[in-house]
Structure 1
Amino acid sequence: MSRITTPFTHDSTAAEVVAGVDLSGRRAVVTGGASGIGVETPPLAAAGAEVTLAVRNTAAGERVAAQLIESTGNSNVFVAPIELADRESVRAFAASWDGPLHILVNNAGVMAEPLTRTPEGWEHQFATNHLGHFGLALGLYDALAAAGDARIVSVSSSAHLRSDVHFDDIHFERRPYDEWAAYGQSKTANILFAVEAAKRWADAGIVANALMPGGIRTALQRHVDAEAQEGWDNFPWKTPEQGASTSVLLAASPLVAGVTGKYFEDNNEAVPNTGEEFSGVAKYALDPESATRLWELSEKLV
């Protein structure tokens, strides 16, 4: 199968990839839509979609929603609370949803934070970045299926190259904790989720893809100390508007209609990682056996 490419690149913005697309009548949920690239993902609203910002900080969410309504003229922008590391909060959000859901953008996340555990004992990055979004997608399955042609978009990272999922000790109960290994593992899980959802939910018309948004300076880096950021100045940084482009492409563009189970970066399907550069997709992140194993484990947990 040939690699999927589009006319868009590293420098394209979310507004550019959705230009001319009419999303009237379609409904979207964007987690983490009150900060970082989540704020830029709702050009979906400018294209006419109803957009719900699923956020921890509802006050910040309301401010972003008001700005979106004013700038787009679309009054169908809403805010709802969710704490992805809290199973009950995720279940409550899903239970409160009524009607079809056409687009789910799993955007929220935490990165390289000190070891923190949920009440269940789960490592917090894995719980937030993967398990929370997994539980949300499961809870919204009926709404996604009712749409007939729903799209799930999971924001991963090139940091998935730092770690496969360590099934023998996912939550760092026996191995030394490393914040970057934990983050990388959670980002690999985001890709494996898309691989398995693509297989399990195809008959319901649901497609699922993952992506690397690019390097964007946001509050996501708040746990990364200055020493760790040395050398980052030469990194090909993106603006938030550019960083949201691949999410919006997968959520809305007709150029990728029907595409599923893939990992994109810079608005094109990623090439295999060669080990020489910190880009592309790791073979283990697309492994179908790992994807099934992770799904079955995650179902038991959530």
Structure 2
Amino acid sequence: MTHDLITSSFNAVSTAAEVVDGNDLHGKRLIVTGGSSGIGIETARALAGAGADVLIAVRNPEAGRSVADDINTGLDSPRVTVAHLDLADLSSVRRFAAEWGKKPLHALIHNAGIMATPLTRTGSGWELQFATNHLGHFALANALHHALAAANGARIVSVSSRGHLRSPVEFDDINFLERAYDPWLAYGQSKTANVLFAVEANRRWADDGITANALHPGGIMTNLVRHLPEDVIDGFRTDPAAVYKTPEQGAATSVFVATSPLLEQIGGRYFEDCNQALPYDGGPEPVGVADHALDPEAALRLWDVSEHAISR
């Protein structure tokens, strides 16, 4: 990499609360997609605890309200609200953005996601993981562009995964029409798309005061694994080599990217364990960021494909 690495005093065991400690977020408005489960809950909790007004955008508003009530109970005043959002449904994305309007949005955290689902296509024919993990968030960020620009220093946080190491975006067959469907390759290319989005969004929107970065939160046993067979889940849980974070630790890098003063006007990068990741070295350890995820030509191509997809 040609730029200086962003490093911090935080690491893999740091929690979201520790990362945001000392940051005063009063007066800041933030959106967390998928904020009613897993690391989304702890992301919202830490941000609200630092004074931010947090809207959790969820498919199940009833679950969202339960989470909001729980977080707000521990605060001096209610700071977490809930709105419906189905990222696989572009009409839902448009309604959500219209309801937000143009009031300044200081951070948009693309946290929601699905993993290793059976082959499913949206009504528009897109493979579900690509549609949910990437296209829905792409449409959301574009629909909220004016609100982000109005904040004069907004951040977009794109929650990717080390799963991006599994696959680049296969532009010739994104939807597995010609090749056999592999749920992990589909997940991998959707997570690569999350990084490429940050690269191109940052290039396009930095002059509007908007920066975008991507991250791997770490391995966390959340309901993200709900589509996997029970024997696979059991294998994850009993693997002696596996190291899992708590949800509070898993939310730390999202909160770091969203709030750290170290990232002022910094974008187009990929973080893990609250530090900028080194390039992946091709070895067996899934650590670092793959070249294909930071490729500016692939990022531009993905943007064009995505604009066409959401305009249909």
Instruction: Give the TM-score category using the shorter length.
Output: over 0.9
Q: State whether residues 134 and 193 of structure 2, in contact with CA within 8 Å, keep that contact through their aligned partners in structure 1.
A: yes
The runs of 5 or more residues in structure 2 that have no matched partner are none
2:77 and 2:151 mapped to 1: Cα distance? 21
**Percent sequence identity over matched residues?**
60
Query: Are the aligned partners of 1:111 and 1:125 in contact in 2 as well (CA < 8 Å)?
Result: yes
Which of these residues, 243, 249, 252, is aligned with residue 245 of structure 1? 252
Q: Tell whether the 8 Å contact from 2:33 to 2:112 is kept in structure 1 after alignment.
A: yes
Q: What letter matches 2:93 in structure 1?
A: V
- Quote the RMSD (CA, aligned, Å): 0.9
Do residues 28 (structure 1) and 30 (structure 2) align?
yes
8 Å CA contact retained: 2:117, 2:227? yes
> What is the CA–CA distance in structure 2 between the aligned matches of 1:174 and 1:50, rounded to whole Å?
46
Task: Kindly provide the CA deviation profile for residues 206-263 of structure 1, in whole angstroms up to 9, marking residues without a partner as x.
Answer: 0000000000000001112244342644212100000000000011121222210000
The structure 1 residue matched to 2:286, chosen from 269, 274, 278, is 278
Alignment of 1:257-296 (within 5 A): 257-276=264-283, 277-296=285-304
Distance 2:49 2:226 in 1: 30
Task: Tell me which of 68, 72, 75 is aligned to 1:72.
Answer: 75
The structure 1 residue matched to 2:13, chosen from 7, 11, 14, is 11
Letter in 1 for 2:224: L
> Does residue 1:38 correspond to 2:40, yes or no?
yes
Matches within 5 A, 1:1-302: 1-42=3-44, 43-98=46-101, 99-229=103-233, 230=235, 232-276=239-283, 277-302=285-310
Which range is displaced more, 97-106 or 66-75? 66-75
1:104-147 Cα offsets, whole Å, 9 max, x none, are: 00000000010011011110000000000000000000000000
Q: Does structure 1 retain, via aligned residues, the 8 Å contact 2:109–2:258?
A: yes
Q: Equivalents in 2 of 1:109, 1:269: separation in Å?
A: 22
Structure 2 Cα separation of the partners of residues 263 and 271 of structure 1: 9
Question: Whole-Å Cα distance in 2 between the matches of residues 112 and 297 of structure 1?
Answer: 23
1:68 CA displacement: 1.1
* TM-score (normalised: structure 2): 0.95
Once residues 233 and 143 of structure 1 are traced to their aligned partners in structure 2, the CA distance between those partners, rounded to angstroms, is: 46
**What whole-Å deviation, never above 9, does each CA across 1:165-218 have from its counterpart, x for those lacking one?**
000000111110000000000000000000001100011000000000000000
TM-score (norm 1): 0.98
Give the conservation status (yes or no) of the 8 Å contact 2:6–2:262.
Answer: no
Aligned length: 302
